[in-house]
A and B are shown apart, each in its own frame.
Chain A
Amino acid sequence: MSAVVAEAAVGRTVEPHERRPARLAELFLLVLALAAGIGAFAMVGRATTGDLPEGFWVASGMLAGVALVGHVVLRIRAPWADQVILPAVVLLNGLGLATILRLQLSGARNMVGADAASNAVYSLLGALVAFALLWFLGDHRRLRRFTYTAMIVGLALVSLPLIPGLGQEINGARIWVSVAGMSMQPAEFAKIAFAVFFAGYLVSNRDTLALAGKKVLGLQLPRVRDLGPILIVWAASLGVLVFERDLGTSLLFFGLFVAMLYLATERSSWVLIGLLLFGVGAFAAANLFPHVNARMEVWLHPFDAELYDRVGGSFQIVQGLFALGAGGLFGTGWGEGYPQRVPYAFSDFIYTSIGEELGLTGLLALLLVYLLIVQRGLRTSLAVRDGFGKLLAGGLAFVMALQVFVVVGGITRIIPLTGLTLPFMAQGGSSLLANWIVVALLLRISDSARRPSALPVRGQVAPGGATHEPIVVGSAGTTPDGRPTGTPASGTPLPRRTPVNGGPTEIIAPQPETPKGEHS
């Protein structure tokens, strides 16, 4: 922890500056996002049917409603929350719906699965669940109480598809659960449960994991007895690979797990051990299971004629590459390309659908929007004061980055293709619902991170509320510009205050991320 403390002392961790709720900026960005999304609906309709698509006003109203309700909820319940995340998500969701609608309107036989209407309903549902969560979960630290519940829920969700009669095997991977005609991908929810579990578990045990144990070759190795719960989850994620045969989900859990361990312990040995374990598991799986092995072959030689013709071979990825190639720099424009040629162009391969019609320009913009959300999440993690929030925000942000990487990397052949979906865009209720919940959590934590540290105030606010003396508690330092800073004890519920008349508010202290009692 010494490095962090030292950093904190010179005030680099979080620059002290004045904070102000940025809801107006958010409103402006929301308008832009809505313009892009609704504009896309209109263009899709014009390009395919020559008129506004059926249900245009309903869909547009719904998207605008989601944006407006989200904005209002944030204003009331999380005024300090990040102002970029919601507009970015609304943009992605809108573009995703437009793309699915476009594929549905193509009328192609392999696009009968595309259903923009039901996906819009799921988007609405996801957004409402997220807003409800924001409304009723006033403080993310309450989730810490459910650390081990989250672990059990996560493990239960992961093993659901293995239950006979409930689990469904689609395209070789058994990651689906079907109940009463409705199917869902429990792994999408499991990733949230695992993030909560890791955050809660690690914030309590990070020191033991980080400091106890032998040093071998300059690497601090953890003790075996501290590994218990971690090994359980490692086994679970490997179990996904072996029994559910889905490399993507397995990679997602594993990456989440390694990243959060690394965040908490600051020990690169964990990264090495994690990568090693995963490498061994993946290598063994590739050798033991024909399904995984076939995926590897397809990854390495997609254009091979025999693999192309084989059932479950490289047809899909090659068609996806054709779609991307046809898009070129600027794309064909909505409705002008043939993205429907690619199997599952509306779900697993929505990336190539957008690539064909919006081109490289569109995809780079898309990646930047995802990067923006992820970096905003990481920033939140950087700024938030409590360790649990830090780990949770960092973990959730990273898992979203990883999901985008696994999906897009699979399509563009950086890694073997897997069955994950692009957050907020691909068709699929589970994915939408889960990722909206992730957004709610990130927004909730960001509110706490950016909220002026409300400190117990000694004495009175200066007349007129224009200035006041911040009161320093706990360890205190002075920033280079001479303004005092304060550090509240983490985890303590504090009274809050907001600035009056736009005057300067409390200055946030650089916040060393320290467990209780570690101050020296």
Chain B
Amino acid sequence: MNTTLRRLASVVMVMFVALMVSTTWIQFFQSSELNDDNRNVRKIYAQYGTPRGPIVVGGEAIAQSTPVDDEFGYQREYISGPLYAPLTGYFSLVSGTSKIEDTENDFLNGQADALWVDRLQNLFTGADPQGSSVELTIDPEAQQAAWDALGDQQGAVVAIEPATGRILAMVTKPSFDPNRLATHDTQAANDRYEDLLNDEHDPLHSRATNTLYPPGSTFKLVTAAAAIESGEFDSGTVIDAPVTYTPPGTTRSIPNYGGTACAAGNEQTLAEALRISCNTAFAKLGVELGAETLREQADKFGFNGAVDVPFSTATSVYPEPPFDDAFVATSAIGQWDVVATPLQVAMLSAAIANDGELMAPFSVETIRDAELEVVQQSSPRRLSQAVSASTADQLTDMMVGVVESGSGTAAQISGVTVAGKTGTAQHGDGSQPPHAWFTAFAPADDPQVAVAVVVENGGSQGSEATGGRVAAPIARAVIEAVLNG
């Protein structure tokens, strides 16, 4: 039996060598692949184990990590969660990270390359690694004002400082509470996440930056800008303003709001057309300018380009020509396939307010390490010269007219000149109430804030809604909050 015993011993040897090889294969050669699998939550666990840096607005933390006595060590908390959700995003075991929590993750968890000095220090002092704090550009009063003014209506508000591109307010409704996703009770977080995903109003989706709406009449600013930039028009140029306009090559006519004439004699100045938001005048003007010109002007205002603030936003679209004049006409008044985010519409006003210079919007002001040393400081960045300074001046005057005596009088603030533009955008098959828009900046002579407001389906006023009635008061509230703050 000893021969067979020796053979059996060899078999045992082979079995154990096989186990050692397979274990080595997994732990050494497959290790990094396994660690990178997105079903492996150890990465998130490791992040939960170190104090994550706070997200700060106006000197107060709106997201912070507090020590808790569980397997993770720290719980992420959001103060005023729904108010800031479109900015902070969430940090969740179940749904991962989003928005600032996602893009600034390396800084928040202290693993960013720029923090290597801190990590080296920690190595010597034995201190635990600590996350950096991320300070946002948000003006807390403007944010709160926008939230309050929007009330129970669905929609979004974005406010930008025109000279720099700093985002001062970003509100979306309905919103969600990131705390309920950040809970370490994964079952509860999972249930909540499922609910949010299945919610017909899609609260996880930030309307301010990621929903594309037809911009409606706010897009007339682009058409007007293209007209003035062409050199053939100025604010005083008299243009046709028929009761209905039928673009060449089609039989579908474009009416005015309410089906009325824009002016006696069916013609008016460009400024006048913008003031009362005359559809036929701008549709005809758009066809005269041509789709190429409109698209070029739209691109300069930021359409068709990716905008990261620093999280990515939906790209607003002016379709690529050529297309039929019927579409050119509707595109010139912000309908058909023209879509824009509220952020984009705010950028439109901001560029006009900033002498035609479009600044890249951003929401992260400063990143400081655990010792409050500045690690990264954002500086304003120019995106493009959307229009010349003189065009911007004319557009500003025209927009002031809109608020003083046009469709946007509800945005008037005593003692402050407000420049604005309303929009009432048809969408879908037209059976639902239109989206109400308003975009504005103020003060007109020294702009501090540009704002865009969209209220879905007319908000509380339903089919009776216009941008001037529903959206303009919200914009006014935000402007007041910024100017008084």
User: Which residues from chain A sit less than 8 Å from chain B, CB to CB?
Assistant: 3-4, 7, 13, 106-108, 259, 262-264, 266, 303, 308, 318, 321-322, 324-329, 337-338, 340-341, 355, 359-360, 363-364, 367, 370-371, 374-375, 378, 381-382, 387, 390-391, 394, 397-398, 401-402, 404-405, 408-409, 412-414, 513
Contact = CB atoms under 8 A, between A and B. Distances in A.
A378 B31 CA distance: 35
Nearest to B31: A325
A363 B13 CA distance: 16
A360 B71 contact: no
Contacts of B37: 303, 318, 322
Contact of B5 (A107, A322, A327, A382): A382
Contacts of B19: 367, 404-405, 408-409, 412, 414
Contact of B23 (A107, A364, A378): A364
Contacts of B6: 382
A13 B2 contact: yes
Contacts of A13: 2
Contact of A401 (B1, B2, B15, B32): B15
A259 B5 CA distance: 9
Interface stretch (B40-48, B222-230, B283-291): B40-48
B349 to A, nearest CB: 46
Contact of B24 (A360, A398, A402): A360
Interface of B: 1-6, 8-9, 12-13, 15-16, 18-20, 22-28, 30-35, 37, 39-42, 45, 70-71
Contact of A328 (B2, B15, B28): B28
A107 B71 CA distance: 7
Nearest to B70: A107
A360 B39 contact: no
A324 B34 contact: yes
A329 to B, nearest CB: 6
A106 B20 contact: no
Contact of A367 (B5, B23, B33, B71): B23
Contacts of B30: 321, 325
B27 A409 contact: no
A359 B16 contact: no
B16 A371 contact: yes
B2 A7 contact: yes
A387 B35 contact: no
B22 A412 contact: yes
Contacts, number: 138
A491 to B, nearest CB: 15
A482 to B, nearest CB: 23
A378 B12 contact: yes
Nearest to B35: A325
A324 B27 contact: yes
B22 A355 contact: no
9 contacts: A263-B1, A263-B4, A266-B1, A322-B39, A363-B23, A390-B1, A405-B19, A409-B15, A409-B22
Contact of B22 (A262, A266, A414): A414
Given A326-B35, A382-B5, A367 B42 contact: no
Given A378-B8, A390-B1, A391-B1, A355 B39 contact: no
A371 B9 CA distance: 10
A227 B8 CA distance: 22
A394 B24 CA distance: 28
A120 B54 CA distance: 45
A360 B28 contact: yes
B3 A338 contact: no
A404 B18 CA distance: 12
A107 B39 CA distance: 22
Contacts of B18: 405, 409, 414
A405 B27 contact: no
B12 A374 contact: yes
Given A394-B8, A405-B19, 12 more contacts: A107-B70, A262-B4, A324-B23, A325-B26, A325-B34, A338-B45, A338-B71, A355-B23, A378-B9, A409-B19, A413-B22, A414-B22
B43 to A, nearest CB: 10
A402 B6 CA distance: 16
A504 to B, nearest CB: 25
Nearest to A341: B41
Contact of B3 (A7, A359, A391, A409): A7
Contacts of A108: 71
A78 B336 CA distance: 95
A337 B71 CA distance: 10
A4 B26 contact: no
A405 B2 CA distance: 23
B3 A328 contact: no
B33 A325 contact: yes
A367 B12 CA distance: 12
B3 A3 contact: yes
B74 to A, nearest CB: 15
A381 B30 CA distance: 39
Given A325-B34, A360-B27, A378 B15 contact: no
A295 B40 CA distance: 22
Contacts of B24: 360, 364
B5 A263 contact: yes
Nearest to A387: B1
Contacts of B9: 375, 378
Nearest to B7: A262
Nearest to A395: B8
A340 to B, nearest CB: 7
B71 A378 contact: no
Quick one: which of B23, B27, B35, B42 has the most chain A CB within 10 A?
A: B27
Quick one: which of A264, A340, A367 has the most chain B CB within 10 A?
A: A367
A404 B8 CA distance: 15
Contacts of B33: 325
A341 B44 CA distance: 13
A457 B157 CA distance: 106
Contacts of B71: 106-108, 338, 340
User: Which 7 A-B pairs give the minimum distances between C-beta atoms?
Assistant: A325-B34, A412-B22, A360-B27, A322-B40, A325-B31, A401-B12, A405-B15
